[in-house]
Amino acid sequence: MRLYPHSFSPISFHFAQSPRDFIVQEIPLYEWSDQGEHLILQIRKKGLSTQEMIKILCQVIGCKTKEVGYAGLKDKNALTTQYISLPYSLYAKVIASQDTLASKNIKILSFARHHNKIRIGHLKGNAFFIRLKKVMPHDLCKLESIMQKISIEGIPNYFGFQRFGKFGDNFLEGKQIIDGSKKIRDRQLSEFLISSYQSHLFNQWLAHRIKLCKILQAFSPKDAHMALGDQFHLTISAQEIKLLAQQPHFFKIFQGDALHHYPYGKLFFAQDANMQDAQRFIQKDISPCGLLYGKKTTLPTDLALHLQMPFIDPKIGAIGSYRFAWVFPQKLKYHYIPQKAHLELSFELPKGSYATILLEALCNHEIKGGDDV
C-alpha cells in the first residue's frame, strides 16, 4: 500500500489515460551535435507502447531492433513524444517511409544527427499534460493547497501501478523466479519480472518510512519514542527523536541514509541525522535514496540499514542500484474550467518518475489504473 505524507480526506476525480487527456514529452539530456553517424528522430506516437512503435518502425524501414536506440519507455495510452536513434545510413528510407508511419500513428517531428547512439537513461525527464475530469468546485481549494505544498516539498518517488502489470501482481512472478519455483526461458521477460520485484520492495520500504515520518510528525518525542520502539524496533533516544522531528522536511533523514545530489551528482551516505543535510534536502540540493537491492550495491548503514533490512531479499542476483525516495516536480501549473469541471495540469518530473504518483499525492490514495480515481 502506497502512503502519502498529507493527512486529508481522499479526493475523487475522473482520470483516463488517453491520447486526449494524457500527453508526455521527453526532455533530452543534452543537445544534439548535428554531426556524427547516428540519425536522431523526434517521434510522436499515439496508442502505442515504445516497443510496439519500434517494432512497426523496423518493419516499415527494414532495420533491426538492436539498431534502434531510445532513452526510456513511454505510456501506450497517451500521446507521447520521444527521441530515438538509428544509423544515419537509414536516412533515405526514413524519409520515404514518413507517410506509411504516419498512417500507423507514428509521426516524425524532427531530424538531427549525433555522435552517440541514444541509450536507456539518456534523458533529463519528462513534461506532462494531464486533464482531470469531474473535479468538483468544493475540492478545488483543497487541490490548490496540496499543489502548493507539492511545489515546495515534492512527492514520494514510488513506482506507479504501470510497473506491476495489468493485475498489479507481476512482482510475484519475479519473486518466484528468485526463489527458484518458476523458470522463464525469455531472458528479457525474466529480468523485467525480477526488476518488478525489486520495485515492489522499494515501494514497501518507502511506505514504511513514510509511516515512520507520520509518527514523528503527529506525536510528542516521548510518545514517538514509544511508538518507534514498538512498531519499528528502533533503538533510538528521545533526544535523537526530537532532533529528527525538528528537520524541516516531512521525510526525515536518518543516520546511514543514502543521499544523492539532486537532480544529478554523486551518491553519499549520511554520517548522522544532522541539520545541514536536512536543510540541503528542503532546498532541493540533495534527496534521500532507497535501495533497489541486488549485486554490486553498497548498503546503507546504522539506523537506515535497520529500516532497510525487512525489504532486502538476499537471493536477488540482479544488479542493484539506488533510486530517489523523493522528487520535486518542476513547473507545476494548473487551469480549472468550471463549466466542464476539468482541471488541466502541466508539470515536469525527473526520469523514472511517474505522473500518476503525483496524482495519487493529490487525491491521497492509490490509483489502480482505469477511470474514476
| CATH number (domain holding residue 42) | 3.30.2350.20
- Cell digits of residue 325: 525516495
Q: What does the angle CA 229 – CA 220 – CA 151 come to, to the nearest 5 degrees?
A: 100
Same domain, 178 and 51: no
Same domain, 218 and 293: yes
Q: What is the DSSP string of 45-105?
A: EES--HHHHHHHHHHHHT--GGG-EES----SSSEEEEEEEEEGGGHHHHHHTHHHHHHTT
Q: How far apart are CA 328 and CA 152, in angstroms?
A: 8
Of 95, 120, 145, the residue that ends a domain is: 120
Closest to 332 in 3D by CA, of 187, 129, 36, 30 = 129
Q: What is the pLDDT of residue 6?
A: 85
Closest to 78 in 3D by CA, of 109, 108, 49 = 49
Question: Active site residue: 75, 139, 257, 277, which one?
Answer: 75
Tell me 334's DSSP state.
E
Same domain, 143 and 17: yes
Q: How far apart are CA 44 and CA 109, in angstroms?
A: 7
Q: What values do phi and psi take at 78, rounded to 5?
A: -165, 165
Q: What are the pLDDT tens digits along the chain (373 aa)?
A: 899 998 888 898 999 889 999 999 999 998 999 999 999 999 999 999 999 999 999 999 999 999 999 999 998 989 999 999 999 999 999 999 999 999 999 999 999 999 999 999 889 999 999 999 999 999 999 999 999 999 999 999 999 998 998 888 999 999 999 999 998 988 888 999 999 999 999 999 999 999 999 999 988 888 888 888 777 887 888 888 888 999 999 999 999 999 999 998 999 999 877 789 999 999 999 999 999 999 989 999 999 999 999 999 999 999 999 999 999 999 999 999 999 999 999 999 999 999 999 999 999 988 876 544 5
Whether the upstream peptide bond of residue 263 has omega within 30° of 0, thus cis, is yes
Same domain, 105 and 190: no
Q: What is the pLDDT of residue 165?
A: 86
Q: How many domains does the chain have?
A: 3
Same domain, 166 and 313: yes
Same domain, 69 and 140: no
Q: What is the pLDDT of residue 315?
A: 95
Same domain, 79 and 193: no
**Helical segments of the chain, H only:** 50-61, 91-96, 98-103, 137-153, 170-179, 187-218, 221-232, 238-245, 275-282, 302-308, 355-363
Same domain, 248 and 323: yes
| Cα–chain center distance at 241 | 30
Same domain, 66 and 128: no
Same domain, 266 and 294: yes
- Cell digits of residue 92: 533515405
**Domain limits for position 368:** 1-27+122-154+329-373
Same domain, 194 and 48: no
In single-letter form, the type of residue at position 225 comes to H
CATH of the domain at 276: 3.30.2340.10
Using CB atoms within 10 A of its CB, is residue 148 exposed (0-12), middle (13-18) or buried (19+)? Answer: exposed
- 3-state class of 27 per DSSP? strand
Same domain, 284 and 355: no
Q: Is 75 one of the catalytic residues?
A: yes
